[in-house]
Amino acid sequence: MTTDWWRDAVIYQIYPRSFRDSNGDGIGDLNGIRERLGYLAELGADAIWICPFVQSPMRDFGYDVSDFQAIEPMFGTMDDFDALVREAHMLGLRVIMDQVWNHTSDEHEWFVESRSSRDNPKADWYVWADASPDGGPPNNWRATFGGSAWTWDPLRGQYYLHNFLSEQPDLNFYKREVRAALNEVARFWLDRGVDGFRLDVVNFYTHDRSLRDNPRRPADVPRPAGAGPRDRYFDYINRGTVSRPETLDLLGELRSLMDSYPGTFTLGEISSAEDTLASAADFVRGNRRLHTAYNASLISHEPFTQQTMSELLQRVVELFEDHRICWTFGTHDFPRLKGRWAQHRRHDEETEHRLDRLLAAMLVCLPGSCCIYQGDELGLPQAQLSFEQLRDPYGIANYPEILGRDGCRTPMPWCAEADTAGFSDGDQSWLPIPAEHLPLAVDRQQQNPGSLLNAYRHFLHWRKTQPGLRSGALSLIGSPPPVLMFERGRHEERLLCVFNLSTEPAEVTINERGWHLCHEPLLQGRLIPPVLHLGAYGSAILGRRPPDSWH
């Protein structure tokens, strides 16, 4: 294994509350994750990214941290975490922690001290500002969860900034002591064997120190990728708090620390940026910023077309060097892919299954690393919950315009016939498990050779054997819509990746001789030289070696 393992890693995202409950209280925990490490290794993951499990009052389910160096008791103990890391490493899985450094809980001791007066040692560890002349907030900045991004604190007699909940005050990254304290947090976990950090909303770390108002979004300026059409936060262009250039200059300290722990890396979340690709590229450029970043480019509310995917891939080729991009179809913050495309998925079962396989194949063929959110390998649809069932503060505050994040956070179905679908050793779960998830449970799909789960396993393990996918460049090949076609690799390691992004059959002529089909049973492409025949949502991967070497 090299120090650059992360460039083509398959990272499995775990939302711990919903993965596996080992003690019967209805909430997933660290020991539950440990029980299922074998499943993740068998799937073909290289690393697991675990959403926050450190101490928190849980106003935002762990993304409001009250102690960066303590385990939240509902998830287990530090001994449980150490055992998880050891066993993961024994199975060849690296462990990535979610680090929420843009803000803390308002119960964190740093904030308790900061709000106590205007002249205490941590007085400027957070972003404080006086009221505007009319007594209101300093400007028009909005919180992503709704309402003003400023809350009045009567004890200190000032407003504090919070880009998320009012219980999540923003740290002041311009303060050197704040960055030093967070670097010590990083060192604490790196010393325990953690292999890297996913940095929550890293492009929110700094703010416009002049506190100028954000402009309203003109009617002709589209919303960013992944932004909901009714999300009022994006009624504004949020330049005061999102993707500030000042953040880039402050990342060198963290990068130096990570470089002192060979083999570790940083994965940045680029959120709410006007141009997520350009912003992500900025955050990973050179050797003094982040190692890699994921973005919302594939988190679309509309199905991909040949044109949109071609344009996206061309921009990636132009913007990113050395595969420093991470792809994902979804995370714990977005409706599941099938939920976003629900109005477009009115096909027979076989066509639906072809689309699922096409997306799995496309994900492993793209350059860089990729994240798979738990349950996406099962093809879980978005859960439909009533208002009374919601637990997400974002969803509750914005209901019914925005349904929130609970629909993608329901517990993992392990056993179709078991109580709580095998999620818990007890008889309860913190969110309900939809009936439509039960036929897609792990045990059912493991027994079905043609299941999506087994397709993912096959693709991910095969990907590890292909130098052309692990390190090869991407070159778009001109093809008529709806067929997307590109090459990966160089010389004898070249692969030709072909995807029919349509419900209708398609044909494409392969002008160069010598190509042979790989994975024909899974992808169902049919090559009668020089024509490649693809059914609805058909795919094909062609290689330059003799056919027998692909099996």
Q: Which of 21, 35, 195, 200 is catalytic?
A: 200
* 28, two tokens: 């997933």
Provide CATH 3.20.20.80 ranges for the chain.
Answer: 5-103+176-204+237-462
200 included as an active-site residue: yes
Provide CATH 2.60.40.1180 ranges for the chain.
Answer: 472-550
Class of domain 472-550: mainly beta
Residue 393: which of 153, 102, 146 has the closest Cα? 146
Pairing assessment for the beta strands 531-534 and 474-476 based on DSSP bridges? unpaired
Q: In this structure, what is the dihedral angle of CA atoms 274, 277, 280, 286, given to the nearest 10 degrees? A: -130
Fold designation for 5-103+176-204+237-462:
TIM Barrel (3.20.20)
pLDDT reported for residue 123: 98
pLDDT reported for residue 508: 96
Q: In this structure, what is the dihedral angle of CA atoms 454, 457, 463, 465, given to the nearest 10 degrees? A: -100
Residue 241 phi/psi, 5-degree rounding, is -130, -10
**Cα(316)–Cα(309) distance, integer angstroms:** 10
pLDDT reported for residue 461: 95
pLDDT reported for residue 547: 47
The total of other beta-carbon atoms located within 10 Å of residue 504's CB is: 10
Sign of CA dihedral 332, 270, 320, 267: negative
- Answer yes or no: are the C-beta atoms of 145 and 394 closer than 8 Å: yes
Half-sphere exposure of 264 (CA within 13 A, CB side): 25
Is residue 457 classed as helix, strand or coil in its secondary structure? helix
DSSP E strand boundaries for 201-299: 265-269, 292-294
- Answer yes or no: are the C-beta atoms of 178 and 264 closer than 8 Å: no
Q: Which of 253, 275, 443, 520 is catalytic?
A: 253
**Cα(501)–Cα(105) distance, integer angstroms:** 44
pLDDT reported for residue 368: 94
- Answer yes or no: are the C-beta atoms of 70 and 55 closer than 8 Å: yes
Residue 293 phi/psi, 5-degree rounding, is -150, 145
Strand partners, 528: 531
- Return the residue matching tokens 């500002």: 129
pLDDT reported for residue 550: 44
* 31, two tokens: 């020991």
Residue type, 381: P
DSSP letter at 239 equals T
pLDDT reported for residue 83: 98
Pairing assessment for the beta strands 325-328 and 292-294 based on DSSP bridges? parallel
- Return the residue matching tokens 């978005």: 382
- Beta-carbon contacts of residue 343 (< 8 Å; ≥ 6 apart): none
Mean pLDDT by 10 residues, the chain (551 residues): 79 98 98 98 98 97 97 98 98 98 98 98 98 97 96 98 98 98 98 98 98 97 85 96 97 98 97 94 97 89 91 95 91 88 76 92 95 97 91 85 87 97 96 96 97 96 90 90 94 90 95 84 86 95 66 43
pLDDT reported for residue 546: 52
